[in-house]
Amino acid sequence: MVGLVTKGTMKDLSPPQILFLFSIAGLLIIITILKAQKKNSLASLIKNANRNYLYIAIINFSSFCVFFKALKLIDITVITAIGYLTPIISGLLAIFILREKISSKITISLTISILGAFIVMKPIVTNSLGALGILCALGSAVGWALHAFFLKKQAMVHWLEQSFIILSIVIPISFPFAIMTWQPLTPRHIMFLAVLGMIYTLDRMFVTTQPCVGFLPQCSQCRVKP
């Protein structure tokens, strides 16, 4: 959904500018919800954040930038197909780093998924722009897998608080890059940046609230408190 909105309406804006502006939109939505729910004070959330949030923010910034760059170079259907490698990479990280165990059926599905992704990519790497687009899309997939890996360590923190901390770090990181590539905004840009902010919030609510990395069922220790 982020790719469709971005590719169709904001081709003339740079990736850092898009990320900076829709992060502000997302942060405003998150703050509004936090205030309504009377969660912990915003200052205390930032003060108590650990180093993993800095890693997550840097990964977010890098992943979004290469994702938006890929949108400018190759078709969104190819990027979507490559994006399905994210849970596969997360699964591999879970196996080799977190020592999670997987069944033979999951091993087979991992192998088939990897082969399918390479079949999709093969016809596109015949030119330099296509190859660069593939690399950017792969970089984005790896980035989101690392994002899930580091987020696992924050599993007992509510998704709203996680999102507030991450966006509060992403915004100052992306700001200097956004300024260097700044382009004038139109009302259409502003409307769709607000939409991207809402999409980010919904994604955090329904997708990334599952903190266990890989393909194993969510364990009781990793459940996020409502």
- 59 CB-side CA count, 13 A: 18
Beta-carbon contacts of 70 under 8 Å, excluding residues fewer than 6 positions away, are 79, 133, 134, 136, 137, 140
pTM of the full predicted structure?
Answer: 0.72
Residue 104 near residue 154 (C-beta atoms within 8 A): no
Q: What is the dihedral of CA 176, 181, 184, 185, to 10 degrees?
A: -70
What would the pLDDT profile of 76-96 be if each residue is shown by its tens digit? 777 877 877 787 777 777 777
Instruction: Fill in the DSSP letter of residue 1.
Output: -
Q: What pLDDT score does 155 carry?
A: 58
Helix (H) or strand (E) segment spanning residue 180: helix 159-180
* 215 assigned to some structural domain: no
Instruction: Fill in the DSSP letter of residue 39.
Output: -
Written as six digits, the tokens of 215 are 């393909």
* 225 assigned to some structural domain: no
What would the pLDDT profile of 167-194 be if each residue is shown by its tens digit? 899 999 999 999 998 988 888 888 888 8
Average pLDDT for 110-116: 71
Q: 17 or 110: whose pLDDT is higher?
A: 17
Residue 156: pLDDT band with limits 50, 70, 90: low
* 31 assigned to some structural domain: yes
Average pLDDT for 203-215: 51
Which of helix, strand or coil describes residue 163? helix
**In the predicted model, is pLDDT for residue 33 greater than 70?**
yes
Q: What percent of the chain has pLDDT over 70?
A: 69
* 217 assigned to some structural domain: no
* 226 assigned to some structural domain: no
* 185 assigned to some structural domain: yes
* 134 assigned to some structural domain: yes
Written as six digits, the tokens of 130 are 């296509």
* 213 assigned to some structural domain: no
What's the structural domain count of the chain? 1
Residue 53 near residue 169 (C-beta atoms within 8 A): yes
Q: 199 is in which domain, residue-wise?
A: 2-6+14-208
Mean pLDDT of the chain: 75
Angle at alpha carbon of residue 4, lines to 196 and 137, rounded to 5° = 100
Quote the radius of gyration of the chain (alpha carbons, Å).
18
